[in-house]
Structures are given as C-alpha cells and as structure tokens.
Amino acid sequence: MDADPDKWFHDKISEDLIQLHSIKEVLYRGQTKFQSIEIIRTGSYGKCLVLDDKIQSSELDEFVYHEALVHPAMITHPCPETVFIAGGGEGATLREVLRHDTVKRVVMIDIDKEVITLCKKYLPEHSQNSFEDERTELIHTDARKYLAECKEAFDIIIIDLTEPIEEGPAYLLYTREFYGLVRNKLTVNGIITVQAGSAAFNELLNFSAVFNTLNTAFPEVYPYQIDIPSFGGPWGFCLASLNLNPIMSTSDVDDRLSARSLDNLRLYDGLTHQSMFSLPKHLREDLLTQTRLITDNEPLYTYTG
C-alpha cells in the first residue's frame, strides 16, 4: 500500500476502527460556517461526500442508505402528502420522497446552504433535479426552530443528519425535547424516521440512545437496519408513530409500491422490508438493555475540538 497520506482517506468508523479509501481525486475541500466538507473520488466507492471527516454518502451505495431511510415510513403511511426533511444536503433523500406520487409538498430544511450548492455542482446524480421540483420548498435555517414556529403538521418527518455531537449542527435534533416537538407536528397518522448510527453490535451507543429517546415521545417505535458498505457495516434507523405499525407482509409492501408506480427501486421491496425489520436476537436484546437518553442538556457525544 502506498504510504502517502494524501492518497488515502481515513474514515474513522469508531475509536477502534478506521476504514481506508484510496483517493483518486479531490473535487473540493473547504470549510463552511458549520462544518468541514470534502468531495472526493475514491477507488472503492466513487465520489463521496465527507462532512467533518466522515463519509456521509458515496456514489456506489448511496441508494442503500436513502431508500432505507425514506421508503419504509412512506410505505407504512397509507397516503403521505406532506413531508418534512431535516438535513439531506445531497438531495437524495428528497429525490426518494418525490418518487411517491401521493406527495404534494416537501419542506426541506438544511442550515448549511454551501453544502447543497456544492452537492448540486459535484454530485448532481444524487439529487437528480429534485431541488427544482415544484413540490419542493428548500429553506436554509435551523430545522428545530422552523418546526417550533410553523403552524402546519406533516405526514412524514425525516431526520437525515450527522451524528448528535455537542456543538455540532445536528445534536439538538436528536433529543427528548425535540422528539416531543415532532410529536406535536405530525398529523394523525404521522411518522418520524431517523438515521440512528451504527448497528454493529460493539458500536450500539448511538442506535440504542436514539431508540430509547424516541420511546419517551412515541408509543410505536420500530428499529431496523441495513448493511451499508461505505459506512463500514450495518446501519441503524428508527421509525416512530402514534399509531402506525410498519410490520407488514411482503405482498402488502409490494402492493403499495406498485400502486405508487415504484417498481424501479434498487434496494427496497417487500422482501427487503421484512429483512430490515427482522433484527437478530443479540441486537434486539442489546437495544432493550441500553438505557441512555439524549436530552438538550446531555448530548450523546461531547465535542472534543
């Protein structure tokens, strides 16, 4: 292996695990008001968006993450018309939401305008012109502040943000107080879905804390996972609602996808839905035994500079 550090990107999966990616080209490197950003072309996963030194999505497998984040909630809801997205600067979450012909309006809030501008320039295949869709309303502000002040309720709220690190741009959107606010901004059949971090059995702090914290606000909370190679392994998500259960038969999921003309997805279908929500025994047990909650005054990770 070439030892030149400029030719390798070190993606820190955890304190004890680093994944190396060969760098073929640096398309952009800089600092926004909120975070560092790199867009690099790797030998392993093609073009990658890197925020604060962590890969957020890759050209090769971004469809895995974004379809897993979006479609279980959208399909669980019988007719999602209004959607709120917090984060999602690449535009791929927005892209997947807009695939549903039931959707009439999407409010996407991303505080970092520079990230979206750069992703439009260097990663246009992620958004596929979704920012220009007439159903899209893109706003650059604080997502929590917007939800607290807005008068409308949403059928689906999607939290597509970086990890909840203190002083980072996202940590106040993972807390017990925030989930209580979300509960009041959902329609009767409303659903929140959250990316919840690593689902590796030795790195479950983020996943279990998000799961437990959602349980303080919602009676129906369902964890699920999918393997995302560029993230270094299995990745966790949580779906929560006041009354809807995402556990459906393979045929029911496929029927809903067909009714919405969603027959061209690469990852998600009825069988994938079953597998994502069928967590292995050790993971189910670990999620239930963890008790950590995330609050405004007690962030999950402390900023270390």
Catalytic machinery residues: 160
Tell me the C-alpha distance between 199 and 68, whole Å.
14
Say what the alpha-carbon torsion angle 284, 290, 295, 299 is, to the nearest 10 degrees.
Answer: -100
Token pair of 254, please? 């496929």
Tell me the C-alpha distance between 39 and 155, whole Å.
33
Across-strand partners of 137? 107
The number of angstroms, rounded, from the C-alpha of 294 to the middle of its chain's C-alpha atoms is 17
Tell me the C-alpha distance between 5 and 88, whole Å.
29
The number of angstroms, rounded, from the C-alpha of 208 to the middle of its chain's C-alpha atoms is 16
Tell me the C-alpha distance between 111 and 79, whole Å.
28
CB 240 within 8 A of CB 260: no
